Amino acid sequence: MSTDAYSLTARDLAFLRRPLHGFLSVAGGPNPPQPRPVWFEATDEGRIQLFTGPDSLKVRRVRRDPRASIVVAAPVGERERWLSLTGRATVEGDGAHELAARLAARYWGPDEPTRAGDLAHILAEDQVRLVIHTETVRRFEF
């Protein structure tokens, strides 16, 4: 039911491409991890990317220690399933606004007029991409 692997399967990628929240944890030195729910995108290469402000706590922590993980679980009402991905994270200066627009369409719907102002606010702010380069995948299904 649970296996370790070094890459994502096609089934894993299909699961990760659903509009599910991921719970991101980044290394915090002596502080315990404090997972945060995030929007994310899984790439064909098995990386996980999200957008955030360049001065956010997660970016500051990743710059000190690049270890990161994300856990994604099936919602209540579905059979139990989760994926946990760990690896090194990098902060990328390009593509964050495009990622934010794609994720807004995925999570809010492509033509959600009531959220247009929210997306405009996100796109007006400086953003970076946080990319987890997956090294280990753990999965569970029941």
Is the Cβ–Cβ distance between 115 and 104 less than 8 Å?
yes
Mean pLDDT of the chain: 92
Structure confidence by residue, pLDDT tens digits, 34-85: 899 999 999 989 999 999 999 999 999 999 999 999 999 999 999 999 999 9
pLDDT surpasses 70 at 138: yes
What pLDDT shows up at residue 2?
45
42: left (phi over 0), alpha (psi -120 to 50) or beta: beta
Q: CA-based Rg of the chain, rounded to a whole angstrom?
A: 15
Percent of the chain past pLDDT 90, that is, above it, reads: 82
Q: Which residues pair with 52 in a beta bridge?
A: 128
- Give the fold, CATH level 3, of 2-141: Pnp Oxidase; Chain A (2.30.110)
**90: confidence class by pLDDT, cuts 50, 70, 90:** very high
116-124 vs 96-108: helix axis angle to the nearest 10? 160
- Locate the domains of the chain by residue range: 2-141
pTM of the model: 0.91
